[in-house]
Every structure is written in C-alpha cells, then in structure tokens.
Structure 1
Amino acid sequence: MGKPTGFIDFERRTRPERDPAERTKDWDNYTLPLDEKVLQEQGARCMDCGIPTCHTGAMLNGMTSGCPVHHLIPEWNDLVYQGQWEEALKREHKMNNFPEFTGMACPAPCEGACVLGINEPPVAIRSIELEIIERGFKEGWVKPEPPEVRTDKKVAVIGSGPAGLACAAQLNKAGHNVTVFERHDRIGGLLTYGIPEMKLPYAVVERRVNLLKEEGITFVTNTEVGKDYSASKLHSEFDSVVLCGGAAKHRDLEVEGRELKGIHYAMDFLHANTKSLLDSRLEDGNYISAKDKDVIVIGGGDTGTDCLATSVRHECKSLTQFDIYEKKGDTRPDDNPWPQWPVIHRVEYGQKEAAAVFGEDPRAYAVMTTKFVGDENGHVKEVHTINVETSVDDHGRRVRKEIPGTEKVWPAQLVLLAIGFSGPEQGLIKELAVETDERSNVKAEYGEYETNVEGVFAAGDMRRGQSLIVWAINEGREAARECDRFLMGETRLP
C-alpha cells in the first residue's frame, strides 16, 4: 500500500458519463476515460485491508459478493498508484482473460464487498480495471501469446460467449487444438448481441477475438452444433467437448393477449438492433423499431435498462419500465449487511437517458401485468396492470398480493419482455444424452464441470443458469482446467 491515507485524502471518482441527452443521438460508448492522475488517486484509496474481501467471489444470500475470478485487486490498485501500469496489466490478466469485458459490463460485485464500502464509498475498482487494459492495448503491451508446444488433442467449445471464450483461451494456453463453434454470424455470444454498442462496443469484442485467432484458436461461425454439425461428428472429430451455450431459453409472460403482434422478447429486440447496426448502421431496416411508439419494458434488470437505452435512440414516443418490486431505499436494509451485494436504489445509464429525454425516471414500481389488449389488426395497443405487494412466505417463496383499486391501462405499441431466462435450449443437450438438473441446466458439479458423458464438460450459464459475465469467465477457466486434466492426466492451468 503506497499511501496509507489515500482513502481519506481522495473521494471516489468513476469514469465520467457523456451528457445523457446528447449521447442518445449516437451509438458510441456512453462513458469517457479518467485521466492518469485521477486513476492513481483512485488506486491510492485501496486500504491494504488485513483480509480483503473484494476478490472472494462468494454467494451470500443468493447474490454474488466479491469477484468470482478472484482478481488480484489490491495488487493492481497499488501498482496503478505507483504508476507501474504494465505490471498492473500482468496482475490483471493473471486471473481474468478479458478485463475489458468485465470493466465495461460487469455490475462490479467486487465493489459491493470492498471493505472501505462499510462506511465510505468503495474503491472505484471497475473503472481502474478498465483503464489498465485499455492502456495495455494502447501501449501495445497486449500481444498474442501462442503456446510454445502443441499437444495432439482436439477440443470443441460450443458457444462463444464469455464462458466459451475463457475456456478456449485457457485450453489453447495448455497447447490443445481448440475449435469454437458459434451459431450466429459473429463471435461473442451475448457479449456481441446481448449487450448494446454504447455499453460494450463490438470493436472491443472483435479486438480480443482477433488476438485469440492469432494465438491459434479456430472459430467457426453460422454453425449450430446439433443442427448444422451433428453430435456424432463432434464425438468422432474431437477428444473432448465443453458446452458453453448459455441459457438462451426465454422466460415468458403467460397472460391474456400474449400472442399479439408487437410483443417481443428483449433479447430478440437487442440482437436484431445490434446486427442491423453492425451490418448497415440500421439502414437495412432489419430490426424491431421503437420509433414513434409507446414502449413498455417489462423487467427491472440490466437487460431492461439496455432496452430503454436502445428505444430512446430509436426516438420512441414514450417509455416506461415495469419493476415488479417496490422502489428500494438509498441505503442497505438491515437484512442486507456488508459484504453482501447492496440491494439499494440505482439509476443506471438507460434510466438517466430516458429521464433526460422524457423528463422523469421511466420506472413504475410494484407493477404486475394482467393482460395485453390489441387493435383490430391483432397488434398490441394497451397493457393492463395492477400494483402488488411482495412478501416471502415461511418456505422462502415470494408471494404477491394484488392491491385492489390500483388497476391501470397503459398505451403501448411495442412491449419488450426482459424477465430473464429459464435455462439452456435442450436440443443439443438431448442429442448428446447429457443429464440435466431440476432447473433444466446441464448437470455438472461446480469445480468439476464434467457431465455424465465422459469427456463432455459444461460451464457458464448452461451449467449454472442465468448469471454474470464474471461467473461465466470463472467457470470457463475452471472447466478448461478440468478438461485439460481429463486429456493429459494432470494440469498446470489455474
């Protein structure tokens, strides 16, 4: 720790955001870099804790506390303060293959578990993390590092999201010949088509993918394993398989009128928009447009926020986001102590943008949709709702009670369902005869990752269910370790 009084001398500062009203006119990154002096001061705020909890990666009360990839956060914070940027980059890459992805799109559970955060604003870990890797690319320190020796083993990784990419990167380091299969036209999975350009630009994903190609990884796009490439061929051509296909089965909203036109899953909306944007800057028209429409986003999470930001850029007529829960407080409730993830009210980038354009926060709290009503052409025109109270019963289950007299009708020509995913798609799972758990996820123990089929492993959302990018990277890395052990009888992978 270079400055013992750093957390006293300097206030928390994170990457500044561009003006919310102005940035809705383009698709560029909504944040800006911090200058070097400020970053060094932010690194100085790291306290040299006796027992740092920022890198623990534990599940507490059903939420992530600390960093699942066990980032060496205190080390690279201090190195930044000391101005040793290249050494900080080495520490950063030691535990995380893709700090640029987590630096841009992770909710930073590390900051929620920061010891300083007990009674002060926590260290700006995510902002520092991102600036380290961006400086590394700018200075040319990030270079392809192909393995010196190759084995004769061939591994297929199914899915090119964060779990698949992390797994492939680690197996390639071990010298194996790795092929990554992706059913879409671009590599990246939800990194590419699930997170909008202004939050995680595709150029950032492509930059890393190009490095992985130079390191010797083979990528096969527009190929859905189990459909375009049979499972039997997979077994015959590869020594091992790692399933990293994500949890892409949408959770639906089964209410009256669900079949109406104009009601879409949020991920379909985001995927089509990004593909059209990358293909033609939206000139081909191959996307679901929110222009001049009253838009309702159902779901209060990050995906819902991304839908807000995208709809505003389409120049929608109005914008409302339904949150099934009541508005949270600005401080931790008594049953949510540190180092749990703080369950508090947050205003994210999409809500800021909607407020800048329409004059107020777009969220409506404790709202449950009861039915959709359509026009004479079968297109949605109204969303009917009622307010609810949510409680937890003796068995830990959420119970919702409708509040009479709170019924409301909302105009809507576009409804986006952002209520999560119920598990992985089952086609390839069944074809491979892989067992699933009670939630339909691929059954494989955490830390071991091998399925009931010898040589077939699973990691990320496909194994654990919908989760964070940083958990996917963690599982991809660890599944690579166990796959390497299976292939070679031992492993040096972490």
Structure 2
Amino acid sequence: MGKITGFMEYERQPWPGRDPKERVKDWEDYTVPLEENELKKQAARCMDCGIPTCHMGTEINGLTSGCPVYHLIPEWNDLVYQGQWQEALDREMKMNNFPEFTGIACPAPCEGSCVLGINEPPVAIRTVERAIIERGFEEGWVTPNPPKQRTDKNVAIVGSGPAGLACADQLNKVGHHVTVFERDDRPGGLLTYGIPEMKLSYSVVDRRISLLKKEGITFKTNTEIGKDISFEKLKDKFDAIVLSCGATVPRPIAAEGDDLKGIHYAMDFLHANTKSLLDSKHKDGNYISAKDKDVIVIGGGDTGTDCIATSMRHECKSLVQFDIYPKKSETRKDDNPWPQWPVIHRVEYGHKEAAAVFEEEPKAYAVSTKKFVGDENGNVKEVHTIGVESYIDKNGQKQRKEIPGTEKIWPAQLVLLAIGFTGPEAGAFQKFGINTTNSSTVAAEYGKFKTNLDGVFAAGDVRRGQSLIVWAINEGRGAAKECDRYLMGSTDLPG
C-alpha cells in the first residue's frame, strides 16, 4: 500500500459537482475533476486489505457486493498514489473494458464492500477509476490495438449496450470478425439514450465506439433483427450470435387514468430528449418537454433521478418524486451489515439540483399512486396518492397497507414512470425459437451463456433482467469466452 496511515489522515472526497443552480442551465458534465494531488490522497486511503472485498463481485440478499468485473482496485490505487498513472491504467484495463462508463454511471458496489467502510467513509474508488481512464485518453495512452492475426470466424452481436460492446471487444481481441447490430441510429444502447448527456456525455461513448471501429469491429445501426434482417439470415451468415439487446420493456403502473396524455415512461422521455439534443440541440422540438410544467416522477431509482435532472434543465415549474418506500436511515441498519450493499438514504445529483432551485427536497416518501385525473381534453392534471406503511407478514413476505387520512392531490401536467423494467421483448425470441424464462428473459445459464439454439448465446440484461452496467460488462466478457470456446474448441479469453 502507498501510505500506511492514508486512511487516517485524509477525508473521503468523491468527484465533486458544479454549483447545482448553475449546472441546470446547460447540458455539460455536471462534475468537476479533482486535482492530481487530491486524487493521490484518495488513492492513499486504500488500505490494501488482506482480503480486498471491494472486488469480490457477488450478490448478497439480492444486492450486489463488490465489483463484478473483479477490478484490481488496491493495485491501481497504490499505483496512482505513487504517481505511476500509465501502470495504473494497465491494471485498470486488465479486468474492465470500459472504466470510463463504470467510473461515471456505476453505483459503485465496490465502495459498499470496502473494508474501510465498516466504520469510516469508504475509499472513493469510482473517483480514482474515472481519473485513471481520463488521464489515459488525455495522455494518448489509449490507442487502437487491433489483433495481429484474424480467424475465419464471423460473430454477430445483437445490441450495442455495455454487454454487447464488452463481448465484441473481447472477441475482436482474439481475431474474430465481429459485427454489432443496433436498432437505434447511434450505438451504445442505454449508455447513449438511457443516461442523460450531463451525466454520461455521448462524446465519452462515441470516443470508445470510434476506438472499437479502428480496432476492426463493424457497427450496423438502424438495423433491427427480425425486421430489417431476418434471424434466419443472421444464422446463415454468421458462425455465432450473441444476444445482448437489454431488458427494455417498462413496468406499467396499475392506476386509474394511466392512459391520459402527459403520462410517459421514463425511457421514452430520456431517449427523446437525448436524441433531440444530439441531433439539433433541441431545435427540432422532437422531445417531451417539462418546461413550465408541474412534474411528478414515480420511482425512486437512478432512472428517476435522471428524469429529475432532465426536467430541471427544461425549466419545469415544480417537481416531486414519489418513492413507495419510507425514507431510509443515514447509516446501515443491523439487518444490512457490511459487506452488503448499504441500503441508506442517498442524495443524488438530480435531488441536489431540485433542492437548490426549489429550496425543498423533491422526494415524497411512502407514497402510493391511486389514480390520475385529466382535464376535458384528456391531459393529465392531477395525481391522487395515499400514504403507505411497509411491514413483514407472518410468512416473512413484505407487504404494504394504506394509511387512512393521508390522501393527497398533486398538480401535474407531466408524469414520468420510472418504476423499472419487466424484462426484454420476449416475443421476438420465441418467434425465433429461443427459449425464455417465466420472467421473459432468454434462458441461458450464467457462466455458459448458451441458449437452446446451437451457436447462439445471451448476455447482460436480456439474460439476467434489469441490472447494473458492471454486471453487463461481466456477462459480455463471459459470453465472449464461451463463444470463443464454441468457435475454436478452446479459449484463452478471461471470464
């Protein structure tokens, strides 16, 4: 370890944000990089534990603990502290194809299982991770590295999100000819159209896509399998296929009036906003605007936060986010011990922005939506709610009951549903003869990633359901390894 007493001398300092009142006026990166000296201090807080649980990569009670790509975190923290940035980059890239994505948009389960986090604020792992890869691009250390030899095998990757990109990158490294199919007009999947520009700039995604192209990967956009090209033709043309098309079916809300105009799924809102921004800087008007509207976001996760931040930049009139759960405690509860992911109260970037502008917390806790009410033209104008109490029944199941007297009516001209996804679009897979599970995901065992069809594999959310970017990269790498084994009889690719 670099500095034996680093964790005692230095305070945790994550990548800071710009003034919330100022940053809502633009679509630029809302963060500000740390100076090199401060980054060294953050790296010095890493204790190089005997058992570094930060990169164990597992699930405990349904939540991710540690890094699923098994990042060599203590190693590159020590190298940063020593000022050996290029060596740190080499160690960082060994296990993670895209640290620029995880360094920005991953919730950092590695930090949740950091040993220092038992009784102190954990190491700012994600901050150092992002700084290393950005330094690598700035210094010109990240350059195209195409394979020296090519095989005669052709692989089709369906979907260009993090799972598909990781799989394509790995298969290309061993010389296979890789073609990535994407139905949108730009590659990147939800990295491009599901995460807003001020959080993950498309320039960051495009920078990596450009590198992959220079290394020999072919991208075909505006191409939907089963529509623009048949699955049968894909099987005839390619030696193997990897499905990595995500879990994009949004979870509906069962409430009266949910068909009113002005009620939208979060991804429809975010996708249209980013596309219009990239196409014309919003001049084409092809997006759902929150300007001068009372906005209600239903759902308490990261996607809901992104809807808040986007609405703030549209200059909404007011904003409230409904969370069906009660407000969490500031510290872990006894039933949520380390190294589990800490289920605690968090104030994310969008919440800080709304609070700064409207001078109050945007979240309403333990609230259940009862119905939507519209005007004479069928536009939503009100959301009716009631407070709920969560409890565990005698069978150990989580239940909720309504609290009489807590009914409330909220004004709303725009409602954004951010309550997760039910799974992938399973109908197409069944039409292709691919087996699916009861939850509509593609049936393929983790670690093997094989579907019931010969030469067809599945990775990422399409196989596991809605999950994290870092799990998608894990699965893309794993599927690449098994696909290479299928094609060549053996493989040297890491999992």
In 2, distance between residues paired with 1:344 and 1:426? 34
Q: Are positions 1:361 and 2:394 aligned together?
A: no
Note if 1:65 corresponds to 2:65: yes
2:318 aligned residue: 318
Residue aligned with 1:483, SS: helix
The aligned residue for residue 94 of structure 2 is 94
Whole-angstrom distance in 1 between the partners of 2:82 and 2:15: 20
- Equivalent pair of 1:226/1:427 in contact (CA under 8 Å): no
Residue type of the alignment partner of 1:275: K
**Distance in 2 between residues matched to 1:405 and 1:31, nearest whole Å:** 42
Task: Output one character per residue of 1:288-337: Cα deviation in whole Å (capped at 9) or x when no partner.
Answer: 00001000000000000000000010000110000000000101011000
Contact 1:103 1:129 in 2 (8 A): yes
Aligned ranges 1:213-362 → 2 under 5 Å: 213-362=213-362
Q: 1:353-374: CA deviations, max 9, x gaps?
A: 0001111110000000000000
Structure 1 Cα separation of the partners of residues 146 and 490 of structure 2? 21
Q: CA deviation at 1:431?
A: 2.6
- The reply to whether residue 410 of structure 1 matches residue 393 of structure 2 is no
Q: CA 1:396–1:212 in 2, change beyond 3 Å: closer, same or farther?
A: farther
Summarize deviations over 1:353-401 as a string: whole Å, max 9, x none. 0001111110000000000000000010000000001123344532110
Matches within 5 A, 1:83-482: 83-482=83-482
CA contact (8 A) 2:426 2:436 kept: no
**Unpaired segments ≥5 residues, structure 2:** none
One-letter code of the match for 1:303?
Answer: T
Does the CA contact (< 8 Å) of 1:231 and 1:431 recur in 2? Answer: no
Give the AA of the match of 1:374: G
- Structure 2 CA distance for aligned equivalents of residues 140 and 236 of structure 1: 40
Answer yes or no: is the 8 Å Cα contact 1:194–1:271 preserved in 2.
yes
Classify the secondary structure of the residue corresponding to 1:54: helix
CA contact (8 A) 1:231 1:428 kept: no
Count of residue pairs brought into register by the alignment:
494
Q: CA deviation at 1:437?
A: 1.2
Task: Kindly state the Cα deviation for residue 349 of structure 1 after the two structures are TM-superposed.
Answer: 0.1
AA aligned opposite 1:200: L
Amino acid at match of 2:386: I
Query: 1:125-150 CA deviation, whole Å, 9 max, x = no partner?
Result: 00000000000000000001101110
Cα shift at 1:180: 0.3
Q: Deviations over 1:127-179 (max 9, x none)?
A: 00000000000000000110111000000000000000000000001110000
CA distance in 2: counterparts of 1:396 and 1:73, whole angstroms:
37
Instruction: Please list every run of 5 or more consecutive structure 1 residues that lacks an aligned counterpart in the other structure.
Output: none
1:32-58 CA distances to partner (integer Å, 9 max, x unpaired)? 111111111111111010101000111
Contact preservation (8 Å) 1:441, 1:465: yes
Q: CA deviation at 1:454?
A: 1.0
- For normalisation by structure 2, the TM-score amounts to 0.99
1:227: Cα distance to partner?
1.1
Stretch deviating more after TM superposition (201-210 or 418-427): 418-427
Preserved contact between residue 181 and residue 221 of structure 1 (Cα < 8 Å): yes
User: Distance between the aligned counterparts of 1:145 and 1:392, measured in 2?
Assistant: 54
The structural deviation recorded for 1:16 is 1.2
Which residue identity does 2:440 align to in structure 1?
Answer: S
Q: Percent identity?
A: 74
Q: Which amino acid aligns with 1:437?
A: T
Aligned counterparts of 1:426 and 1:62: Cα–Cα separation in 2: 23
Paired residue secondary structure (1:216): coil
Amino acid at match of 1:206: D
CA deviations 1:61-97 (Å, max 9, x no partner) are 1100000000000000000001000000000000000
